[in-house]
Amino acid sequence: MPSKAGRTEGRRVEKPSAQELVVKAPAKVNLVLRVLDRRSDGYHNVWSLMQAVGLEDELRIRRRPDVEGVVLRCDDPQLPTDASNLVHRAATRVLQAAGRQGGVEVHISKRIPIGGGLGGGSSDAAATIAALNRLLDLQWSGSEMARVGAGLGSDVPFFFHAPTAIVRGRGEDVVPFRLSGRRWIVLVNPGFPIATQWAYERLSRMRSGAPPLSPELTALTQGGIGTWEDVIPIMVNDFEEALRPTHPALAEIKQTLLDSGAEAALLSGSGATVFGVFRQEESATHSSDILRQLAAYHVYVAPASSISSFSQEGVTPAPVACG
């Protein structure tokens, strides 16, 4: 039975009615992000160790037999609610695949910064797929839902394997990783976006080729298990070097996090959010107070999530299920 906070095994869920679900969609950070060779389709292969973080959007999703298609609303006016939105596209794709009459209504309460390298849109899309899987009683497995998500965005499949996973290729190759220990994350968004395509182009211009994976990363791939003490010394993001000359604020934030007690600090994705890893909540809160005083940054403190993903391979029903 859910607790008063609405927690079930897996994701935190509420059940307002048999036709409606409320689901939390977590942010992610890249503990490692290596940008590798360019593919024939123009995209780059990546190697990333991703970690879910307890900064969450909330999605209220309900069936609407009286409408056709998707009705999407959001409390943040910056977020488009038309067919360009990943949630809209995810819901449309599920309805088409299910061949069901009627539509759905989705309301997003936005907390994850938009365009900040934290995967908020991808997580919201994964939450939508998983919730509709339950509402429509589709009984898709985790791998089936991840395949639907892979056609929407490179980060979407990760959220069906979270809280921690190694992500390769364009994001479609996801292997769960067991990371033991507990840490707190301070997320610092400077308030400006960085276009992903521009960041990739700049990185490509700055280097003649991608260096190979280190032996430590290869060992993580083979082992599939590790501790924070194993991961922290090898945290790296290839975009940092490319963005340092054009966005000096990112390096300043990183240094402030380290000076205020972070065990490690890193850019997430292609930015612009920088995060610090802390052993204790108290030290994370202290660091966040310092950063809020320095500039008009958006600063969040959240645990590195140990909660299961929306769905795990071979687990039916999905953890977002009501009941």
- DSSP label at 7? B
**Topology, domain 1-323:** Ribosomal Protein S5; domain 2 (3.30.230)
Establish whether the linkage from the previous residue to 163 is cis, with ω within 30° of 0.
yes
pLDDT at res. 312? 39
User: Which residues fall within 8 angstroms of residue 146, CB to CB, at 6 or more apart?
Assistant: 156, 157, 160, 161, 174
Model pLDDT, residue 17: 54
Angle formed at CA 320 by CA 87 and CA 20, multiple of 5 degrees: 70
What's the angle, vertex CA 257, arms to CA 256 and CA 259, rounded to 5? 60
Phi, psi of 38 (to 5 degrees): -80, 135
Q: What is the pLDDT of residue 208?
A: 81
Which backbone phi and psi does 44 adopt, to 5 degrees?
-105, 145
Confidence of residue 278 (pLDDT cuts 50, 70, 90): very high
Residue 321: pLDDT over 90: no
Q: With a cut of 90, say whether residue 273 has pLDDT above it.
A: yes
Q: What is the mean pLDDT of residues 140-161?
A: 93
**pLDDT at residue number 319:** 38
Pairwise CA distance, residues 159 & 309, whole Å: 6
**H or E element that contains 220:** helix 215-223
Domain ranges of the chain: 1-323
Rounded Cα distance between 216 and 231, Å, is 9
Predicted confidence (pLDDT) at residue 311 exceeds the cutoff of 70: no
Q: Model confidence over 208-231: pLDDT tens digits?
A: 878 889 999 999 888 899 999 999
pLDDT, tens digit (0-9, with 9 covering 90-100), for 107-132: 999 999 999 999 999 999 999 999 99
**Contact assessment for residue 276 and residue 284, using Cβ atoms and an 8 Å cutoff:** yes
Give the mean pLDDT of 299-313: 78
- Which residues are identified as catalytic? 28, 155
Average pLDDT score, the chain: 89
**Torsion sign across C-alpha atoms 56, 124, 111, 64:** negative
Partners of 226 in the β-ladder? 179
pLDDT at 212: 87
Residue 14 pLDDT: 53
